[in-house]
Copies of this chain bind each other. A is one copy, B any other.
Amino acid sequence: MGRSRLHDRGELALLEEIRRLVSACGPVAVGPGDDAAVVSRSPYPLLLTNDALVEGVHFRRHWLSPRELGRRAFHVAASDIAAMGGRARAVLLAIAAPSTWPVAELRGVVRGVHDAARRAGAALAGGNLASAREIVLTVSVLGDAPTRPELRSGARVGDDVWVTGTLGGAALGLRLLLGARSLSGGESARRLWRRPVARLQTGAALAAAGIPTAMMDVSDGLLIDAARLARASARRVLIEADRLPLAPCLRGIALGEARMLALGGGEDYELLFTAPPRKRARLERRRLGVRVTRIGTVAAGRGVAIVDAAGHPLALPRRAGHEHFRP
């Protein structure tokens, strides 16, 4: 049983087993088992997003447990719903995997997605199962939008730039998993990579309070993502290096390297947002479920600059952030 692989069972028996693992609940009236899932109507505009985790590209099997992989696949996709200030409602999971993959690992991945979705108030509504040479998990999330979805394009000159949580920890964790180095206390960095948390509650609270002028999540690295926000808003984003909220697990490495990881590492899945300075007091008072840090300002112009406390520009790291199809 624990040793059986996908080709020992076949697709139909596996789908039947997944159906038993997944109970229709919450907004999902008809879950896995029919042609499509039926989700109850929503009084809000809808949000729709997806993300994929590819074996050998985004993860290796021995880096995390199947449950962690499933949980990670949900949070990585749902982070885009958080970035719009929305609430996750229903999730589709498409699994492509080699026929030699152990059934127990498939089960773990499904449970991981299912549990993470439920904790976020959403339901695993359906999905797809197919054979492929490597594992590819594609998670699509349907969400409810807030009254005014938070776009990347609303930043104004003079706005503060804020970020939730801490940065760089997941990037260090990934480097440690890749075996590039070892480090005392590295387990907490690896854990940050394995268990990202979509900031759904925080994003929704910020949107409900009408605080952000622009918002997005930090997935490919702060520099790349801040450049996207700057471009969508047709403004310039200045980030003060001294203000970056470095993850505590970065304490063991040199400051310059820690900043590189925070600026270019990616996979933090924190929220990056801009807000007028008059909102500072509200941001400090408000219960957001996570710390928020003011890291810079919005100026006229284009692009991103890293500056010191006096506002003088610092050199940017050469490779800043993750991009597919780049060797």
Contact = CB atoms under 8 A, between A and B. Distances in A.
Interface in A40-62: 40-52, 54, 56-58
A316 interface: no
Given A6-B325, A58-B130, A131-B57, A39 B46 contact: yes
A129 B84 CA distance: 20
Contacts of A224: 12
A38 B34 contact: no
Nearest to A43: B41
Given A51-B128, A138-B50, A36 B143 contact: yes
Interface stretch (A92-100, A163-171, A260-268, A285-293): A92-100
Interface of A: 6-7, 9-12, 14, 29-30, 33-52, 54, 56-58, 79-81, 83-84, 86, 90, 92, 94, 96, 99, 125-134, 136, 138, 140-143, 145, 149, 151-153, 216-217, 224, 232, 323-327
Question: 6 shortest A-B CB distances, which residue pairs?
Answer: A36-B49, A35-B83, A11-B324, A140-B140, A35-B80, A39-B46
12 contacts: A11-B323, A12-B224, A34-B232, A36-B48, A36-B141, A40-B45, A42-B42, A50-B126, A50-B140, A52-B94, A58-B130, A133-B133
